[in-house]
Amino acid sequence: MPSLTRRFCSILAIIGASSVADAQVIRGVVTEAGSGAPLAGSLVTLRSVETAPDTGAAIRNVITNQLGEYAITAPRGGRYRLTVRRIGVRAWRSDFLNVGSGETVVLDVAMDPFTTLPRVTVADRALCTTGRDGLRVAALWREAETALNVIVISGQDSTLRRRLVRFSRSLGLPMGEVSEESHHSYDENDGIGQPNFRSLRGDSLSRIGYWEDAANHMTFYAPDATALLSRAFLRDHCFSVAQNERDRPGHVGLAFAPVRSRIMPDIRGTLWLDATTYELRLVEFRWTQLPWELEHDHVGGEVHFMRVPNGAWIVKNWTLTMPKPSLIEQRSAGGPRRERLVLSGLGQEGGMILVNGLEAFNKPGTVTGSIVRAGKPLTGTRVRLVGSPFQAVVDSAGRFRFDSVPPGLHAIVAEHPDFTIFGIRAAEQEFVLQEGATRHLAFVAGGEKEIADAMCPGRNWRLPTLRVTLIDEQSRRPLANTRLRMRWLDVEVTGRQGALLVRETRDTDRDVTTDAGGNAVFCSIPAARSLTVGYPIDGGLYPLHTFKLGPQENAVATLRASPP
């Protein structure tokens, strides 16, 4: 059976501008013309014009901070030109700047906003386009390219508190419902400020393709911002304008597809930009040249972007859904055995970046679910999201629903009196809710076996279990960290005298200690025996109560007594 591995890269936007003492520095503030508002997240590029006066080679890139400030260091004294680009405003270019060794040049920039996409008069010859709208394609690419460059060149912003939640799922067929899920959380102390997950370089992806199947081992690749900006990606793909008002209202798309001569497995997809501001919102794609048996509507990837107030761009969330292939044997009557490729399920990798103070920017999701026991709704169950105000009692069908739930990693618990008396929950689960998504959770509450397993993991659930709560009879408070002993009489056959069996009896003790709530559990105890619970005293027993339980019985009791 072919195995499946998944590789994906997340792009973590970082911001920074620095100056070096005793160096030649150009610094200033970038603002919006007219309003004077600072333009955070502007891409400032220093170009050398010593050898190419018209354009010059880009030698330094920085992005402006929340106040619109920038500082860029020239490698040496000389003649330079500064360009500034930002999504939603017209690009700006300085006159020639003569910067002396060790000199600081102050250059403030005022940029004009636009409401329509700037006109491009000469399309980039390196950009392959289809259709008749090559100049509009070039203009859209320029805006997308600006955002991707800001993501790539920006440095770590230590003031931006972030949490990364990554998840891995198995999806069932045909609807793609979640059957298994695992997840991990990281924060800046784990180093998520560095791009933990990188794709291969653009030239490598061009050479080996975006998926490969070597020795029945399938590997899938997805491009990061650097790969999308690479010359190899532009060489291997043609672009066109895409519109999809039904699924992407308010967006304009820059669709890309492999050039006709491309023979390696590749991707086709769309970079979606805001139709008003032309900010890059997401990239979606699907793999090409997959075997038809592995095609499915959910297969593909999405990466969503956002700008944070200090001007940095971050990946809000990403999802990569891949086919899980299997080989099955087929044999026709009298014919040879043959192996056939089938789609056995879907694997999904993804994650999201949660930034403190940016909850209002995240589109909430919905959580729905149900809980049954022995095939019937477990009415009276209270369901709640841990650490949040979301809670509800299920309806007569055992269903519940939470709207406007923020995206992220959540824990949900279901509580019912039949379970809480044993100190356990009817059900619980951690799950990841993606932005704007609806997540359905179906719980099946267990029976006596599951209750016994929850109280006594790994024990014989066919024997009785007793949970006691020890209460001070005067104060009515739990007696914590108190030792209790259970004693019963064991009978053992030790021999035979004629037709009679020789039996020997002895007391068997089992000790437990109460927890902070005064609770203690006696696991796998004998059935149909007199079981006396009390305080251990000098090897003996001060009795508090006697019980007799049947096979597979789970029982609870409250003992009120003076402290030992």
pLDDT tens column, 506-528: 889 999 999 988 999 999 999 99
The two most distant CA atoms of the chain are separated, in Å, by: 119
**DSSP readout, 198-226?**
----HHHHHHH-SEEEETTEEEE----HH
State pLDDT tens for residues 428-457.
988 888 888 899 999 999 888 888 888 898
The answer as to whether 121 is a domain residue is no
87 C-beta neighbours (distance < 10 Å), count: 21
Whether the per-residue pLDDT at 7 is higher than 60: the answer is: no
- Asked if residue 506 and residue 461 are part of one domain, the reply reads yes
Highest mean pLDDT among 147-151, 210-214, 370-374: 370-374
The answer as to whether 230 is a domain residue is yes
pLDDT value of position 402: 94
Amino acid at 366: T
pLDDT value of position 10: 29
Alpha helices in 214-265 (DSSP H): 225-229, 231-236
Q: Comparing 91-105, 282-296, 475-489, which segment has the lowest mean pLDDT?
A: 91-105
Q: How confident is the model at residue 155 (pLDDT cuts 50, 70, 90)?
A: very low
HSE, CB side, 13 Å, CA atoms: give it for residue 52.
7
Please report, for residues 420, 423, 545, 560, 561, the alpha-carbon distance to residue 476 in angstroms, rounded to integers and kept in the order given: 20, 19, 18, 8, 9
Whether the per-residue pLDDT at 358 is higher than 60: the answer is: no
- Asked if residue 511 and residue 543 are part of one domain, the reply reads yes
pLDDT value of position 124: 61
Distance, in Å, from the CA atom of 379 to the CA atom of 374, rounded to the nearest integer, reads: 12
Element (H, E) at 282: strand 280-287
Whether the per-residue pLDDT at 115 is higher than 70: the answer is: no
Q: Hey, what's the torsion of the CAs at 286, 132, 251, 120, to 10 degrees?
A: 120
Distance, in Å, from the CA atom of 397 to the CA atom of 318, rounded to the nearest integer, reads: 35
Please report, for residues 264, 266, 285, the alpha-carbon distance to residue 261 in angstroms, rounded to integers and kept in the order given: 9, 12, 19
State pLDDT tens for residues 39-71.
888 888 898 876 544 455 668 888 888 888 999
- Mean pLDDT, the chain, rounded, equals 83
Please report, for residues 85, 490, 530, 532, 545, the alpha-carbon distance to residue 504 in angstroms, rounded to integers and kept in the order given: 93, 8, 17, 20, 25
- Asked if residue 347 and residue 379 are part of one domain, the reply reads no
- Asked if residue 461 and residue 438 are part of one domain, the reply reads no
Of 411, 446, 481, the residue that ends a domain is 446
The answer as to whether 138 is a domain residue is no
The answer as to whether 335 is a domain residue is no
Amino acid at 295: E
Of 66, 85, 115, the residue that ends a domain is 115
Element (H, E) at 430: strand 427-433
CATH value at residue 490:
2.60.40.10
Number of structural domains the chain divides into? 4
The answer as to whether 346 is a domain residue is yes
- Asked if residue 541 and residue 487 are part of one domain, the reply reads yes
3-state class percentages of the chain: helix first, strand second, coil last, to nearest 5: 10, 50, 40
Instruction: Over range 382-401, report the average pLDDT.
Output: 92
The answer as to whether 513 is a domain residue is yes
Query: In sequence order, which residues have a C-beta less than 8 Å from that of residue 141 and are 6 or more positions away?
Result: 124, 127, 239, 254
Bridge pairing between strands 365-373 and 438-445: parallel
pLDDT value of position 230: 92
pLDDT value of position 538: 85
**Percent above pLDDT 70 for the chain:** 83
- Asked if residue 64 and residue 199 are part of one domain, the reply reads no
CATH value at residue 388:
2.60.40.1120
Q: How confident is the model at residue 357 (pLDDT cuts 50, 70, 90)?
A: low
Whether the per-residue pLDDT at 191 is higher than 50: the answer is: yes
- Asked if residue 188 and residue 42 are part of one domain, the reply reads no
Of 446, 479, 509, the residue that ends a domain is 446
Instruction: Over range 14-31, report the average pLDDT.
Output: 64
- Residue 296's domain comprises 155-329+341-360
Bridge pairing between strands 237-242 and 128-129: parallel
Whether the per-residue pLDDT at 360 is higher than 60: the answer is: no
- Asked if residue 174 and residue 269 are part of one domain, the reply reads yes
State pLDDT tens for residues 83-110.
998 877 888 888 888 888 889 999 999 9
Amino acid at 244: N
Q: Which of 541, 420, 561 is nearest to 477 (CA)?
A: 561
Q: How confident is the model at residue 179 (pLDDT cuts 50, 70, 90)?
A: confident
The answer as to whether 62 is a domain residue is yes
- Asked if residue 293 and residue 225 are part of one domain, the reply reads yes
Whether the per-residue pLDDT at 531 is higher than 80: the answer is: yes
- Asked if residue 506 and residue 375 are part of one domain, the reply reads no
Whether the per-residue pLDDT at 285 is higher than 90: the answer is: yes
State pLDDT tens for residues 228-279.
999 999 999 999 999 877 888 889 999 999 999 999 999 999 999 988 888 8
- Asked if residue 225 and residue 312 are part of one domain, the reply reads yes
pLDDT value of position 503: 63
The answer as to whether 5 is a domain residue is no
- Asked if residue 300 and residue 241 are part of one domain, the reply reads yes
pLDDT value of position 60: 81
